[in-house]
Amino acid sequence: MERIELFREALKERVCGICFDRNDDGTCGLPKDQTCALEAHLPEILKAVESIHSVDLSPYVDAIRSEVCPNCSQDAEGRCVFRESFDCSVDNFLYLVVETIEDVKKKEDGLARGPGNG
Ligand code: SF4
Ligand code: SF4
């Protein structure tokens, strides 16, 4: 399995699991012409989160807004209609997104060290 898929699966379980736009069958309930930023920009989101090591959420917010949002729906003034209407899951659940990514990374590190080495 590609590395990114580990993150995609974990995020689907934890973030989609509490998302207001999730269907009862677990699929995404967004309209067909709309793609969740978590899905559409996962590589950039992962890169932005991995570049930060902080217990504070603000640097993660800044990293997403400077490295992900300009290639997503944010306009030249730095505004995003989805964020402003609380319709962006990345923004709504950023704490959980960061926590989930960190948890997958911890598992990766544990596997790399192997049993009894850490
Ligand atoms: S909007 Fe995003 S977070 Fe919510 S269910 Fe769809 S893919 Fe998951
Ligand atoms: S806040 Fe807007 S621009 Fe940023 S990730 Fe969400 S939908 Fe995309």
Count of CB atoms situated within 10 Å of the CB of 99: 14
**Within a domain: 117:** no
Q: What is the pLDDT along the chain (118 residues), one digit of tens a residue?
A: 899 999 999 999 999 999 999 999 989 999 999 999 999 999 999 999 999 999 999 999 999 999 999 999 999 999 999 999 999 999 999 999 999 999 999 999 888 887 765 4
Q: What is the extent of the structural domain holding 75?
A: 3-111
Pairwise CA distance, residues 93 & 19, whole Å: 8
**Within a domain: 116:** no
**Within a domain: 11:** yes
Best mutation site among 38, 61, 67, 68 for ligand 2 pocket (most ligand atoms within 8 Å of CB): 68
Q: How far is the CA of 28 from the centre of ligand 1 (A)?
A: 5
**Within a domain: 118:** no
pLDDT of 117 reads 55
**Within a domain: 60:** yes
Q: Ligand 1 pocket: which residues have CB below 6 Å?
A: 15-16, 19, 21-22, 28, 30, 36, 38-39, 89
Look at the chain and report how many structural domains it folds into. Answer: 1
Which H or E element spans position 9?
A: helix 3-14
Nearest CA to ligand 1 atom 6: 28
**Within a domain: 23:** yes
Nearest to 106 by CA among 32, 24, 7: 7
Q: How far is the CA of 1 from the centre of ligand 1 (A)?
A: 22
pLDDT of 116 reads 62
Any atom of ligand 2 within 6 Å of the Cβ of 82: yes
Count of CB atoms situated within 10 Å of the CB of 100: 19
**Within a domain: 74:** yes
pLDDT of 115 reads 72
**Within a domain: 107:** yes
Q: What is the pTM of this model?
A: 0.92
